[in-house]
Structures are given as C-alpha cells and as structure tokens.
Amino acid sequence: MEPATAIHLTPIGHVTRESGIELRLDEPYRAGLSGLGDFGHVVVVWWAGRYDVPEARQVLTVPLPYADNREVGVFACRAPVRPNLVMTTVCAIERVDQTRGVVEVGDIDAFDGTPLLDLKPYHGVTDRVRRLRVPEYVADWAEWLPESGTALMPGEA
C-alpha cells in the first residue's frame, strides 16, 4: 500500500476562552458528545493554526524554552511548529452540554478560536504507562498532570 500524499481534516468546532474554557462543537458533530460526560478527562486533538505558514511547517529542530542550551527535533517535544500542526492536550472535563455542543474543561494550552479536530475519552489503560522514561532535562517535572491543567502563559489566551 502506498502512503497517502494528502489528508483532509475537517474541524469539528473550536476552543473559546471567553468566560471559562469551552470546547464548542459545530452542530453536525454534537451527537458525538453522547456519553463523554461520564469520563473525567478528554484527549483534545487540535490544530495549531497560528503556526499554519509554510516556514513553520519546515522547522524540524527547536530550542527548548525549559532546558538551557538544548535543541531537539520537533518529534521529541511538543512545539507547535512541525510538518503537521496536530496537537493534543489532556483536559479535565467539568461539564458536557450535548444540546449546545459545549464541553467545559479545566484548561487547555490552545488559544481562543483554535480549531478542534477530535475528542477522545481518556482511558487509563491505554493513555498512561507504568514505566515512564524521559530525558534528564525533564526528569524533575511532576509525575501527574496538575489539577490546574497545563495553561498558556499569562496574556496568551
């Protein structure tokens, strides 16, 4: 089988950061929210649209803002510049309103207006590992996602 040369992605909604943080789904996708409120967390797949320029898609190595004098490949970090601008964030679910197509989440490291590509329920059996291995420059990071979320830097929303 030959690899696909092009993939078409259709946003299902967008992030809003008006009064709280909401994932707002477009009407045709709202039925897909049925049962999501039974979960505590959701894996949000989103598009880093602010970086959707040809130059950003050519970047393959980046300096790490959290590791002095270290540069790594984009597949070894979560930088939004990369060949495909697909990003993921695990978010705590606060409330799901299927009728309005709204998932209220504790936090997300995506800007207001960010396109949503998919939502997947977080399952401990498939979404975490028992023996995590990380490089020394992130070894002192918290073992678990903080209750407060991952957050953007102040003023970036």
Q: Which amino acid is at 120?
A: K
- Assess whether pLDDT exceeds 70 at residue 23: yes
Beta strand 61-63 with 71-73: parallel, antiparallel or unpaired?
antiparallel
Mean pLDDT of 14-18: 96
Q: For residue 89, what are the β-bridge partners?
A: 44
Number of alpha carbons in the 13 Å side-chain half-sphere of residue 87: 24
For domain 22-123, the CATH architecture is Beta Barrel (2.40)
Name the nearest CA neighbour of 16 among 110, 153, 139, 125: 110
- Assess whether pLDDT exceeds 50 at residue 128: yes
Spatial contact of 79 and 62, defined as CB atoms under 8 Å apart: yes
Q: What are the tens digits of pLDDT across the range 25-82?
A: 999 999 999 999 999 999 999 999 999 999 999 999 999 988 889 999 999 999 999 9
CA–CA separation, 52 and 35 (whole Å): 33
Instruction: Give the global pTM.
Output: 0.88
Give residue 130's pLDDT band: very low, low, confident or very high (50, 70, 90): confident
> What is the pLDDT, as a whole number, of residue 154?
47
Helix (H, G, I), strand (E, B) or coil at 90: strand
